[in-house]
Amino acid sequence: MQMKKLLVISYSQSGQLDQIVSNILVAMEGKVEVYRHKIKPIPDFPFPWTDMSFWDAMPESVQCTPAQIEALDIDTSIHYDLIIIGYPIWFLSPPIPLSTFLKSDQAKKLLKGKPIVSVIGSRNMWINAQEDIKEMIDANKGRLVGNIALRDKNQNLISVVTIIYWMMRGKKDSYLGIFPKPGISDKDIIGAERFGQPILQAIQNNDFSSLQNDLVSLDAVDIVPSIISLENKGKHIFRIWARFIKKKGGPGAKARQRRLKLFKWYLLFVIFIVSPIATLVFYLTYPLFMGRIKRKLKYYRGLELKTKES
């Protein structure tokens, strides 16, 4: 019997997301032909980031504006039985290099009619980016059949501090020797191996109908309930900021730096002052909104695209 073919396309700066994907792929060894490709931006985004380059990535991330990437050397004459797309989150949105790929002619050809599994490695806010991904998969006539979303499980404000340290220093170690290690824990990265088996089974049977249920029962989709509404409001406001900043020019434009700095201080204020209050209000009013919150959790654990969800 001919081996099934799996195409894997991912983008990762530090390699964290790639490690997660590699662990998922362990189950495929010797059983599925794996074709793995990594997206490379031109020019590359800096890692570690400089302060201004980091904020400068916001408007185009939020608006899913394509930039430049190296063409992926993918054999389009092969029939791939499944495509895995792996990505981190940038400003509640897909990273620019992935949006660039998903808006390319190459993606249009590759994704059409194909089952797709997304794999996300985030700090803790990924649900809005995944809505963008669902839309782009839909525009390419692909079919989302599974989603795995891992996050940093440290407390929200702690993970903000540690991720800024990691992104600005490029080192995934403890800040000041006091804070926990940044990012997704080693345990969760290694534990991603367990998601390989249901994916392998689905490819081999060419039946993806129960894949997402199987993945969810393995805790593949990690959502913090108190963050849903915060994130939805945040994405709405980010869109307004993105338009406001872009009026002053495109990526790297000097004229937009003042507005980017304003955005930075706005965001730090929201994260450290507004979000703890919003979280407290969330838990105090939880019994009143329990039904609504459960419906939202069910929606974001699923694969459906409801563009008016808020």
Ligand X SMILES: Cc1cc2nc3c(=O)[nH]c(=O)nc-3n(C[C@H](O)[C@H](O)[C@H](O)COP(=O)(O)O)c2cc1C
* Contacting residues toward ligand X, per CB under 6 A: 12-14, 16-17, 54, 57, 88-92, 121-126, 163, 167, 183
Nearer to ligand X, 32 or 267 (CB): 267
What is the smallest separation between the CB atom of 296 and ligand X, expressed in angstroms?
A: 17
What is the smallest separation between the CB atom of 167 and ligand X, expressed in angstroms?
A: 5
Nearer to ligand X, 32 or 125 (CB): 125
Q: Residues 6 or more apart from 97 whose CB is under 8 A from it?
A: 11, 39, 40, 41, 45, 67, 69
- Asked if 299 contacts 212 with a C-beta cutoff of 8 angstroms, the reply is no
Nearer to ligand X, 57 or 211 (CB): 57
Residue 172 CA, distance from chain mean position: 19
What is the smallest separation between the CB atom of 65 and ligand X, expressed in angstroms?
A: 14
As a whole number of angstroms, the distance between CA 41 and CA 251 comes to 14
Pairing label, strands 32-38, 115-121: unpaired
What is the smallest separation between the CB atom of 128 and ligand X, expressed in angstroms?
A: 8
What is the smallest separation between the CB atom of 36 and ligand X, expressed in angstroms?
A: 15
Nearer to ligand X, 39 or 111 (CB): 39
As a whole number of angstroms, the distance between CA 55 and CA 51 comes to 7
Q: How many CB atoms lie within 10 A of CB 211?
A: 23
Nearer to ligand X, 13 or 100 (CB): 13
